[in-house]
Chain A
Amino acid sequence: GAVVSQHPSRVICKSGTSVKIECRSLDFQATTMFWYRQFPKQSLMLMATSNEGSKATYEQGVEKDKFLINHASLTLSTLTVTSAHPEDSSFYICSATGGGQDTQYFGPGTRLTVL
């Protein structure tokens, strides 16, 4: 299967700071990337859909000014959590699709803890 990486795998930050998470497709061109958030014992909740070279589409209830998404190339998307607060602490996971396929390949996730 295709390989998707995320960096960092774990981050701890102070309340009010911004955190950037990178998602890379390593062996294919990802025309679309997705960002999910998962709270403990909950399911994955789609936050936004990102297409290379265009603005991300955010799901209802997700603040686009707080969760900035950039998909500058076919192999890289970034999620920046701005002015992070403790309630933003969660497991953030990206996924990618490409080549007209709808199968999503997930990155390993980033555990964010905001103190």
Chain B
Amino acid sequence: QKEVEQNSGPLSVPEGAIASLNCTYSDRGSQSFFWYRQYSGKSPELIMSIYSNGDKEDGRFTAQLNKASQYVSLLIRDSQPSDSATYLCAVDRGSTLGRLYFGRGTQLTVWP
């Protein structure tokens, strides 16, 4: 079983719709969870971090965490064509601050 799994996609939504991205992880000891966005040929950029169960909202983005189910999600409201990118879920490895497992990413396309 991979440490971090994401819905493989690609995911295609119309402009203005809600995009839903999902991620499951295997290490129950993980405490820190991140969503990164990566444009083609570029390095990842942080969108959100979440540490506690429940929802965390930042503008059009909402991260949801359920540690009991080992599940993290990202909702993008009012999707824009500029949101088209690969979204990476990352989960800490526990022992060393900052060591992360990354999922393979979900490619999102928002069409006008």
Contact = CB atoms under 8 A, between A and B. Distances in A.
B44 A49 contact: no
Interface string A23-65: 0000000001010000000111110010000000100000000
A93 B96 CA distance: 19
B17 interface: no
Contacts of A108: 42-43
Contacts of A104: 34, 46, 98, 100
Contact of A106 (B41, B43, B96, B103): B43
Interface residues on B, range: 20 to 34
B92 to A, nearest CB: 7
Contacts of A95: 98
User: Which of the four size classes fits the interface of chain A?
Assistant: 20 to 34
Contacts of B34: 103-104
Contact of B100 (A1, A42, A46, A107): A46
A105 interface: yes
Interface of B: 32, 34, 36, 41-46, 49, 88, 92, 96-105
Interface of A: 1, 32, 34, 42-46, 49, 57, 93, 95, 97, 100, 102-109, 111
